Amino acid sequence: MDSAQHWRIRLTALMLGVLGFLTVAARLYRLMVVDYDYYAAKALNNQTRSTAAASNRGYVYDRNMNILAASQSVENVYLDPHELKQSQADLTRIAAFLSPLLERDARWILEQGQDLRRRYKQVGSRIPEDTAAKIRDYIQEENISGIHLEPAALRTYPFETLAAQVIGFTNLSGQGSEGIEAAYDSFLSGKTGKVITTKGNNEMDMPFSYENFTASQTGCSVVLTLDATIQEILEKQLRAAIDRYDVRNGAFGLVMNCKTGEILAMATLGSYDPNDYQLVWDEDVRAALEKAQSTYTQYPQGSAEYLQGKQSYETALTQARLKQWRNRVLSDGYEPGSTFKALTMAAALDCGAIDLNTSFYCKGAEQIPGRSQLLHCWRAAGHGSEKTPQALQNSCNLAFAHIALKLGGERFYDYVKTFGILEKTGIDLSGESKGVFFDKALVTNTDKWGTASLTSGSFGQTFKITPLQLVRAIASVVNGGNLLEPYIVSEVIDKDGNTVLKQEPTVVRRTISPRTSETMRTLIRSVVTEGTAKNASVAGFSIGGKTGTSEKIDVFDENCQRVLDKIVSFVGIAPMEDPEYIVLAALDTPSRSTGIYISGGVMAAPTVGAVMTDILPYLGVRRNYTEDDLPGRQILLPDCAGLSAKEAQELLKDSGLSSRCVGSGETVTGQIPAAGMSLPGGSEVLLYFGETPEERLVTVPDFLGKTRQQAADLAGTLGLYILASGNPDTAAGVTAISQDMAAGTQVRAGTTITIRFADGSAED
């Protein structure tokens, strides 16, 4: 081989070496530079274990700092299969011990402890501290290695079902779902911390290992405008109405400050308990679901019947849960019915389309120009001649159809838009809808589309809005014309009490003039004093409002025939001299089987009246009694012991009570009722002289269905007193619908029973 060949061989080898080096260098460059982050992260993941350090979720408070949602310390339980194997632990015995404590099948726990594919196996979630203490004692007593407990947090709701749809809940991952928990999750959740340690084979912690700790950050707390006491009152009265009128599809209601937009109470019934949010709380629905489940499980798993039945069951279960979680006040549209007439009249007065002396005539039915169908008033006999105030007091459909024609489609639509009916209210809760209103052309282009939409819309039919949209619009009618943005969170505070977010009243725009608002306050007040809403009366308080009865336009039976179910409602405002609080109560599908006439005036008005009776004194609204209100006035009986007859009689007279003397003597030695008891104004007190009255017990009778006179006579024979509330009329149709002490209760003679009266013939 000559030197040239040697040179070529060496050159070839060199070139091959350089080429090989360049290939390796390129590979190293890619590994060490281009893909550095990827492989560094992969190496770090192989060499370290990251454990989450749970953060404490913030509280949810009501306006008085009552805790509505809190986080309770609990623990998760893990098994370490490798550690258990190395320590030769008796897995069968461990599984038998843990099974009842964790409410898990012992065989399943045994399988987790034997599974060497993973280092840690969670076998218990969110167990209470007393259960965790028992497990720790067992670990120590048996000297077991391989059972570990890790701190966690469990969301709890002390008031259970109260305001459930408003507050919402957290899911199994601790994330806010529904209501405040979802809308303010970013504030409430805080930040999760981390513990990073090195690990070896089988994810074993290495001795003298590296550790890096990032502390978790406690979430902020949320303070609501909601008042737990007012919420409880609203829910209590809605439940009573559901029972009284056999309401088939629940109820919803709202209490709002007219001047600020603050939500004081918001309720949807039936409800659920956020502490066990997956449980279906309606007993009838739950029974139907259990029956469906037991039916399909009778078939072999995997069979067509089993799979079809399981799918139907799971779909029904999901729908039932979603329904009970839904906040109907802001999510569901409904026909407002005659409550909407307050807006139509305010618009017509504001623009000058009508005045207080505009005349109407109602003969019960009329062929309105531009409508193909005859328009009927709710009162078949008609209302006869009436002017603007009587049109609202009577809730006359025919009068409002003519008001709409005078107003005109363009102005009607513009005012509807101004009242916020075409938009969401902007409340700080998720899931709000804006209802469904007519296309503009349907009410403005009456030459093409006729007047059906315009006239029906004037009295709240054939469209849907949300309860919240309606309430804030009517609030603007009575508060001077300010359309407010409702809100339910007043403040967000951090763990140190510092304010992170502060909400203030927000005026969106003006709807009507202050002068029109003043006129409407007088008219709305007259609906309660002279119109269809007398059942909402509360002695000592000036209450106004508007009744409503609407048919549900989208309910059909199995034969696709429309079902004439109704929603009855009432919007009440108080005090009318300076409106501050507005209350809505709506009852979805009262039963016809009760024999009670289905209307807002008969059912919803007394419900709101009962709410007002409880919340107005609580809110510090002062009663102003007139002479007519005296029987409905509660008076604390003074102590007359030791007084002369003249002194005692004058004291009682000054208090608004009368008296009758029994026996002889210089001074009062006893009295019935006893001092400190509550009596209706004008009641007679027995004053005893020279003797002590004998205390006796009597049984409270059933006053329901009795007139005021019948109830008073019955109570008088037993030595009981009646505090009458509700409709002040003494007509035969005004009867007792509720009493604060159940029939059959044993009480002392002289006890006062509060009875609410309502007119069962009031309509609309």
Q: Which residues does 245 contact at the CB level (< 8 Å), separation at least 6?
A: 587, 590, 591, 594, 596, 598, 603
Dump strand ranges (E) for 488-565: 489-493, 499-502, 507-510, 544-551
Looking at domain 630-759, its CATH architecture is: 2-Layer Sandwich (3.30)
Which residues have C-beta within 8 Å of that of residue 707, sequence separation ≥ 6? 730, 732, 734, 735, 736
Give me Rg for the CA atoms of the chain: 36
Element (H, E) at 479: none
* Range 740-759 average pLDDT: 90
- Torsion angle, alpha carbons of 487, 488, 491, 495, to 10: -150
Residue 459's CB: how many other CB atoms inside 10 A? 29
Q: Examine the pLDDT at 752 and tell me if it is beyond 80.
A: yes
Highest-confidence range of 3-17, 179-193, 405-419, by mean pLDDT?
405-419
Q: Which of 327-341, 483-497, 716-730 is least confident?
A: 716-730
Query: How confident is the model over 638-673, as pLDDT tens digits?
Result: 999 999 999 999 999 888 888 889 988 889 999 888
670 closest CA partner among 651, 654, 683, 686: 686
Task: Check whether 241 has a pLDDT greater than 70.
Answer: yes
Q: Which of 5-14, 418-427, 745-754 has the highest mean pLDDT?
A: 418-427
Q: How many CB atoms lie within 10 A of CB 406?
A: 14
Q: Report residue 632 as tokens.
A: 């409905």
pLDDT, residue 403, reads 97
Q: Which of 608-612, 676-680, 683-687 comes out lowest in average pLDDT?
A: 676-680
What mean pLDDT, rounded, does the chain reach? 87
SS3 state at 112: helix
Q: Is the pLDDT of residue 169 over 50?
A: yes
Q: What is the mean pLDDT of residues 274-291?
A: 92
Nearest to 470 by CA among 378, 405, 550, 350: 550
702 DSSP assignment: -
* Average pLDDT of span 339-347: 97
- How many Cβ atoms sit within 10 Å of the Cβ of residue 714? 15
CA–CA dist 283, 590 (Å, integer)? 19
Q: Which amino acid belongs to residue 449?
A: W
Asked if 271 and 281 touch (Cβ cutoff 8 Å), the reply is yes
Q: Are strands 507-510 and 482-484 parallel, antiparallel or unpaired?
A: antiparallel
> Whose CA is closest to 726, among 535, 542, 540?
535
pLDDT in tens, 105-143: 888 888 888 888 777 788 887 788 888 888 888 888 888
The predicted model gives 356-360 an average pLDDT of 96
Q: What DSSP string describes 606-655?
A: HHHHHHHHHHHHHTTPPP---GGGGGG-EEEPPP-TT--HHHHHHHHHHT
Higher pLDDT, 395 or 680: 395
Q: How many CB atoms lie within 10 A of CB 303?
A: 11
156-195 b/e with 16+ CB inside 10 Å = b? ebebebbbbbbbbbbeeebebbbbbbbbbbebbbbeeeee
Max CA pair span of the chain: 157
**Pair type for strands 60-61 and 221-224:** parallel
Angle at 453 between CA 447 and CA 454, to 5 degrees: 75
Which residue is associated with the tokens 């048996």? 142
| Of the candidate ranges 232-246, 324-338, 369-383, the one whose mean pLDDT is the lowest | 369-383
Residue 494's CB is within 10 A of a number of other CB atoms, namely 16
DSSP string of 82-105? HHHHHTT--HHHHHHHHHHHHT--
DSSP secondary structure string for all residues of 718-744? HT-EEEEEE----STTEEEEEESS-TT
What is the C-alpha separation between 401 and 407, in angstroms, rounded? 10
Structure confidence at residue 47 (pLDDT): 56
209-232 confidence digits (pLDDT tens): 444 544 557 899 999 999 999 999
In whole angstroms, give the CA distance from residue 18 to residue 671: 120
What is the DSSP secondary-structure string of 252-320?
Answer: EEEEEETTT-BEEEEEEES---GGGTTS---HHHHHHHHHHHHHHTTSPTTSHHHHHHHHHHHHHHHHH
Query: Taking residues 550-560, what's their average pLDDT?
Result: 67
pLDDT in tens, 140-164: 888 888 888 887 778 999 999 999 9
Percent of the chain with pLDDT over 90: 56
Distance from C-alpha of 329 to C-alpha of 362, rounded to nearest angstrom: 34
**Residues in contact with 358: Cβ distance below 8 Å, sequence separation at least 6, in sequence order:** 387, 388, 406
Helix, strand, coil distribution of the chain in percent, nearest 5: 40, 25, 35
Average pLDDT over residues 670-699: 87
546: closest CA among 504, 484, 499, 608? Answer: 608
**Predicted pLDDT of residue 208:** 42
Both tokens assigned to 676: 């400190």
Residue 40 pLDDT class (50, 70, 90 cuts): low
Return the ∠ at Cα 484 (arms to 230 and 469), rounded to 5°: 75
Domain 331-618, CATH number (from 3.40.710.10, 3.40.50.970, 3.40.50.300, 2.60.40.1120): 3.40.710.10
Task: Give the tens place of pLDDT for each residue, 11-25.
Answer: 676 676 666 666 766
Is the pLDDT score of 49 beyond 60? no
Spell out the residues 6+ positions from residue 481 whose beta carbon is closer than 8 angstroms to its own. Answer: 510, 511, 512, 513, 514, 516, 517
- Do 523 and 547 touch, CB atoms closer than 8 A? no
- Taking residue 243's Cβ as centre, other Cβ atoms within 10 Å add up to 9
**What band does 477 get if pLDDT is binned at 50, 70 and 90?**
very high
Question: pLDDT of 405-454, one tens digit each?
Answer: 999 999 999 999 999 999 999 999 988 998 899 999 999 999 999 999 99
Q: How far apart are CA 320 and CA 281, in angstroms?
A: 9
Least confident piece of the model among 394-403, 575-584, 709-718? 709-718
Q: Compute the distance between CA of residue 342 and CA of residue 512 in angstroms, rounded to an integer.
A: 12
Cβ contacts of residue 201 below 8 Å, gap of 6+? none
> Pick the residue with more confidence: 4 or 647?
647
pLDDT score for 209:
43
Pairing of strands 658-663, 684-689: parallel
Give the DSSP H or E segment for 709: helix 708-718
pLDDT at 14: 67
User: Would you say residue 7 has pLDDT above 90?
Assistant: no
Of 148-152, 473-477, 755-759, minimum mean pLDDT range: 148-152
77's CB contacts (< 8 A; 6+ apart) are 98, 102, 122, 123, 124, 125, 127, 132, 135, 147, 148, 149
pLDDT beyond 90 at 723:
no
Q: What are 75's two structure tokens?
A: 């623990």
Residues 429 and 466: their CA atoms lie apart, in Å, by 14
Task: Kindly report the CATH number that applies to the domain delimited by 50-222.
Answer: 3.90.1310.10
More confident residue, 680 or 486: 486
Winning range, highest mean pLDDT, from 132-146, 500-514, 527-541: 500-514
The mean pLDDT value for 237-244 works out to 95
Dihedrals φ, ψ of 614, to 5°? -85, -40
Range 293-299 average pLDDT: 90
Is a pLDDT exceeding 90 seen at residue 617? yes
Q: Above 70 in pLDDT, residue 383?
A: yes
CA distance 39 to 45: 10
